[in-house]
Amino acid sequence: MSTSPERIVPTDLRNEMSRSYLEYAMSVIVGRALPDARDGLKPVHRRILYAMHELGLTADRPFRKCARVVGEVLGKYHPHGDTAVYDALVRMAQDFSMRAPLINGHGNFGSIDNDPPAAMRYTECRLQSLTMNALLRDIESDTVDFGDNFDGSQQEPLVLPAQIPQLLLNGSSGIAVGMATNIPPHNLGELIDGLTALIQNPELSDAELIRLIPGPDFPTGGQVLGTTGIREAYMTGRGSITMRGVASIETIEHRGRPDREAIIITELPYQTNKAALIEKIAEMVNEKRLEGISDIRDESDRDGMRIVIELKRDAYPRVVLNNLYKQTPIQANFGVNTLALVNGEPQTLSLKQCLQVFLDFRIETIIRRTRYELRKAEERDHLLQGLLIALTNLDAIINLIRHAADAPTAKQELINIYGLSEAQSDAILQMQLRRLTALEAEKIQQEHDDLQAQIANLQDILARRERILEIICTEVTQLKATHATPRRTVIEQAEGEIGDIDLIANEKALILLTEQGYIKRMPINTFEAQSRATRGKAGTRMKEDDGVEHFITCCDHDSVLFFSDRGVVYCLKAYQIPIGSRTSRGMPVVQMLPIPRNEKITSIVPVSEFSSDEYLVMLTCGGFVKKTALSAFSNIRTNGLIAISLEEGDQLRWVRRARVEDSIIIGSSQGMAIHFRADNDQLRPLGRATRGVKSMNLRSGDQLISMDILPASVVANIASGPDVEEEEELEAEEAVLAETQGPWVLVVTSSGYGKRVPVSQFRLQNRAGKGTIATKFKSRRAGDKLVALRVVNEEDELMIITSRGIIIRQAIKAISSQSRAATGVRVQRLDEDDAIAAVALVPPSAEGTDEEIEE
């Protein structure tokens, strides 16, 4: 017998692949990866809960083996691997994964350290009371549609009759084909408040809804930074929410060792693996990517989480914590994508749309439940009406039944004579003799009356939408009273963005720039204070023909303004300048600033704050001085900004900060100084692209070497005087020297001599005068000249650097107070061919440094 060959159908491969892939994609989207917007569940979760309901694993029944449940789900509803089912079951029992766990687990169900759960043959489970009350109640009351299972042998619910918005309560995450969903969990009480408000006012705005549901409530607690991401996610369905763990800084005690500061982490962001986090921090510490940490250990127990990060003694706790936030999962983003199935199609939903879809579904389930109850009540009442007819004609019906040949004959005669239905006739024939007593007859009449009232009530519910909404409100309010818990996640109003400056301690530092353009930053504690007239320490390693050009002290958070000889200003943050050791050369400044080859940095000014009442006073080599508002330099372009307009051959040399009440003191290399006010009479404010006015009338061969600012509190006590003073006035000043309390003008010469001169000895003069004598030089050292003229107080410290890079740090009070006519005392012992190059003051302790870092 021959068989006919199989029929081959030619098909376009492109169309076949497109159709097959589309069917596969829709199967994954609808049947596996995305939750239904109505009950918030994926098919696997729905099948697990329904199978447990069918097995009778309610909250008041004993636990049953998870393997029993998994077998039930696999055999009846879910034709996939047992691992997928068990993993889904486990997750619904984890209190760190679900805000309101749907399954009560008994045994090892994993941990926040990503430890795996025990095998399903060891663990046990049952349903939570919330699941019974809010997801499965009324499932037998025809509230939802059922469909065939995979082989048509069973019926399974296509959706559960949820009474709460489970999609938002526990959230969801899943990756389908070409789309993904990621919905954060929320607080049950807040969701119910939002739902009831939407019922009462369907036109509720998004802003009003967000006030009731302020943001996600993660099961692991933690913090959410800012409301911008939440608002965007709630209004558009997509957004990024910044989560942060809860950490505090504590002092911990060690036996036999000094107390240490430590960072204690008690809560982590949602879905953060604690063990992996600790491992990552340890790895970063070993690789020197995290500084200031000496030890890390996990002290978590059944009472809660506790990660202890011990800090080194010189570490700044807030800076270390900010670095942990920046570089580790202690701070993470939750990308919200509220994608769910609505009528079988994936849709991105806003917060209001999520609640509205659930509310529409809940109204439909109430209507279906009411219709079911009405049908059952009417069927029962129909039977009761037949029984009442039988009781009314009791003797005749008993006689009819006694004389009937058989039951079918009796049934038919009842239908024909009394107009009863088949169901009523069956009920009469099955009625027990005890129901014929007067008491039982009264009960039947009472039940009939009650059913009539119930039927009227159910018909009223179906006729009036407001009754349905009232029922929904009542039910969710009862659920809130029974199952709602306080919020765990704190929503911080501040955005909490961590910038680079938050990761740097605001320590005092030195910035050193050589003549050939090498720059570096050193912590100021590199140099401890030394006695006067000692040699000092090497501050930099330089080439033979190099020397120190600029030397300032500041704090790491300061903005550092670099002024060039061309009158252009550039800006860097102090912490952006690389740290160098005492003996390192530093980095070429041209690698950090866009300085042309023919341009040179001539002044460096640190600025903590660009206040509106401060000015920058600029002085050129040609003697021109001008005053420009500091705020004009608050936003400096990358390629610089013009600070002053210069004449041909002139150069910008000195720049200082001043207020309008202050005064300016300028020194020359031949030991002269002029002192005049910075007010608008002597020096009116000018814009950036201006030249300035003449500052001092110099002698032949003299040149300007320094400029400093005297504060207003000092200027008020200084008298005005003529441009040039006589020698006898210098002698008169010597007599009152001992009575001076400061501040002083520190005068330092290139040969290593210095002194403090009371500022009162420098009379206020008019700008452009010749000035007064500031110091006399030691005749034994030829070529001696004035190199620094700085205003100081007795509690200050100064740092002096020589042209060969030797640095000494010493207290101002170690330098004696002398008159203008004196030559001073030795402040630094110099090598044979060395000379003082620059002087800088150590900034006072930055008050509030820790507070600034915290902010």
Domain 41-161 CATH class label = alpha beta
Q: What single letter denotes the amino acid at residue 489?
A: T
726 compared with 778, residue with greater pLDDT: 778
pLDDT of residue 314: 79
pLDDT 10s digits, 2-14: 555 568 888 888 8
Half-sphere exposure of residue 540: CA atoms within 13 angstroms, side-chain side: 33
| Residue 848 confidence class, pLDDT cut points 50, 70, 90 | very low
pLDDT 10s digits, 674-698: 999 988 888 999 998 898 899 998 8
pLDDT of residue 273: 93
pLDDT 10s digits, 438-473: 778 888 899 999 999 999 999 999 999 999 999 999
Buried-state track 571-607, b at ≥16 Cβ within 10 A, e below 16: bbebbebeebebeebbbebeeebebeeebbbbbbbbb
Q: Are 782 and 820 in contact (CB under 8 A)?
A: no
SS3 280: helix
DSSP string for residues in 40-108 = ---HHHHHHHHHHHHTT--TTS--EEHHHHHHHHHHHT--S-HHHHHHHHHHHH-TTT-SS-SEEEES-
Q: Determine the Cα–Cα distance for residues 278 and 264; give it in Å rounded to an integer.
A: 13
Is 316 part of the annotated catalytic residue set?
no
pLDDT 10s digits, 246-280: 998 888 877 666 778 899 999 999 999 999 999 99
Residues in the chain: 855
CATH number of 368-464: 1.10.268.10
pLDDT of residue 732: 54
pTM of the predicted protein model: 0.68
Q: Range(s) for CATH 2.120.10.90 in the chain?
A: 506-845
| Residue 796 confidence class, pLDDT cut points 50, 70, 90 | confident
pLDDT 10s digits, 499-556: 667 667 788 888 888 878 888 888 887 666 666 656 566 555 555 555 567 778 888 8
Per-residue pLDDT averaged across 226-234, rounded?
A: 91
| Residue 420 confidence class, pLDDT cut points 50, 70, 90 | confident
Q: Determine the Cα–Cα distance for residues 726 and 411; give it in Å rounded to an integer.
A: 145
pLDDT 10s digits, 32-57: 889 999 999 999 999 999 999 999 99
Q: Determine the Cα–Cα distance for residues 134 and 160; give it in Å rounded to an integer.
A: 10
The answer, yes or no, to whether residue 107 has pLDDT greater than 50, is yes
Q: Determine the Cα–Cα distance for residues 766 and 695; give it in Å rounded to an integer.
A: 9
Per-residue pLDDT averaged across 120-131, rounded?
A: 96
Per-residue pLDDT averaged across 287-308, rounded?
A: 91
Cβ atoms within 10 Å, residue 31: 13
pLDDT of residue 575: 86
Per-residue pLDDT averaged across 224-238, rounded?
A: 92
The answer, yes or no, to whether residue 741 has pLDDT greater than 70, is no
| Residue 720 confidence class, pLDDT cut points 50, 70, 90 | low
What's CA 370's distance to the chain center, in Å? 48
Nearest to 93, CA basis, from 74, 75, 71, 69: 69
| Residue 313 confidence class, pLDDT cut points 50, 70, 90 | confident
CATH number of 246-329: 3.30.1360.40
pLDDT of residue 529: 60
Catalytic residue among 50, 122, 570, 575: 122
> In sequence order, what are the beta bridge partners of 667?
673, 706
Q: Range(s) for CATH 3.90.199.10 in the chain?
A: 41-161
| Dihedral (Cα; 216, 217, 221, 223), 10-degree rounding | 30
The residue with tokens 């070993």 is: 286
CATH number of 506-845: 2.120.10.90
pLDDT of residue 681: 85
Mean pLDDT of the chain: 86
Q: Determine the Cα–Cα distance for residues 530 and 815; give it in Å rounded to an integer.
A: 12
